[in-house]
A and B are shown apart, each in its own frame.
Chain A
């Protein structure tokens, strides 16, 4: 393992210049596959010796190009993603794989595909419910994805190779969970801002390199003195995406962010993929059932004549109870990206659920622009003033 003191600074370097590594790999002849959403099964990309690269938006980038293709009252993340693509900011991608995890992504990536003709493009369809037939259908969709990627990579994907990739990514999930254990102490050993840099770095690197980075970060964090200073509040952030440290620093000005339940945080690492005889079964189950994005329709007692509201909330948000207890959270920020329907419809229920758990929460909306951060500051400060 490399120099232990380098982990965090390396992560922040990668955060600053995300595409640096994949461009190197491309120069070495490796093919780079972009993906805009954590629902894309990276294991299949990794197993075929391709490098997965998460495409993000950029709150600093005024949307100009995408205005031609998308309305303004629309998921701002997808708008900037398309905008960056149209501005050829990720022209190093050899291919792109998107998934119908939400409507804005589905519609945007279809437009994306027709404007930016990548050598490879695949759209995975995804059911909204957790029924048996939905899982079957989803497995078929994953298998189709595997097939097209195989022919793009020009090789067959053996079940063993896929299993190996699953283990590799499970290792990554385990390491991230281990890293998150280090936010349990009061004060935490690693800040939310550092964590975000690490997570974003992971989504910019091949899995093996990501695991190596995690190893370095974990031992560095465990050994270092002078981690983040103790703040009056320990926050859980619940959001679709938090992908900019300016936002995280704004939260951490008066608090410690100890848990980030977004796809800039633990969401992609909370659970493991089960190793099944047919590895696709494990992947199907994990990606449809285990990932806790609001886009999935979950119901308490499915199809029963009666439905208990609280049981329903538990089945949708139960995992958050664990977070608040184990990480001893005393404040929750429900951080909504404007026009995100799946998350927006959740707000009322979720606020009720946290009341029920006895944890103060606030709902803050932002429009994914740098300009919207200033009003954000006042809200965050005011919220912290109510709980201190």
Chain B
């Protein structure tokens, strides 16, 4: 039995998985914090304990994400876009489009039957198109991130957010709060604004169904609904949507070792 590790160091969260020839044996998600190297180390140990393995059992480690270079024990780096594509197609072989709403950016990609990237687009350098936007506003509303989606579902009339900068959006939210607008309407407004941006990104690459959603955005039920409504599709939602790129990295490791 051979094991492979994939580690994805993102700007906000770091994720890791161990897979063997045919299944997921361990996964772990933690905050990246200030020291990526430490985060990588932490994930490695956590994964090994979970899977009850030692470093020597791991045939290969591949790192991805913006902090990939801090994963000193990885044999190589891989693009997070490619890893996400591999990850999703291993779970949903039929998927043709992927939307990845991550901490600092949102990516939309089309993939072919082999999980190869057919086209992709990434949001402009702007937090308003990323999960960051939601964190920022959640902070303004003084609510827990995990309550954001459910709360937004209670909204009767969402506010229209001018899709500006996340921080400008923040002061907009503060103003709306000052005007006495209910939290749920603001939350729903944010989800709508983000969904709008994400949808035009997805349209840019000519969305083809079925379409999967991953990244931390896939944990926000309000956002999911808004995107489905905006694009008028049903989204495929993987379990553990945050670990997809890490999974893809591990799969890449497995494939390349099979080639050898």
Contacts and interface: CB of A to CB of B under 8 A. Distances in A.
* Pairing of A with B: yes
Interface of A: 60, 62-65, 67-68, 71-72, 367, 369-372, 374-375
B163 A63 contact: yes
Contacts of A64: 196-197, 199-200, 230
B170 to A, nearest CB: 11
A60 B159 CA distance: 11
A72 B196 CA distance: 14
Contact of A68 (B124, B160, B203): B203
Contact of B164 (A65, A67, A369, A374): A369
Contacts of B203: 68
Contacts, number: 45
Interface of B: 124, 126, 160-164, 168-169, 171-172, 175, 192-193, 196-197, 199-201, 203-204, 230
Nearest to B121: A68
14 contacts: A60-B160, A62-B162, A64-B200, A68-B200, A68-B203, A68-B204, A72-B124, A369-B162, A371-B161, A371-B162, A371-B169, A372-B164, A374-B175, A375-B175
A62 B175 contact: no
A65 B200 CA distance: 6
B171 A62 contact: no
A71 B200 CA distance: 12
A53 B196 CA distance: 29
A179 to B, nearest CB: 33
A130 to B, nearest CB: 38
Contacts of A374: 172, 175
Contacts of A367: 162, 164
A23 to B, nearest CB: 25
A251 to B, nearest CB: 18
A372 B162 CA distance: 8
Contact of B126 (A72, A371, A372): A72
A60 B200 CA distance: 18
Contacts of A371: 160-162, 164, 168-169, 172
Contacts of A67: 197, 200-201, 204
Nearest to A73: B124
B175 to A, nearest CB: 4
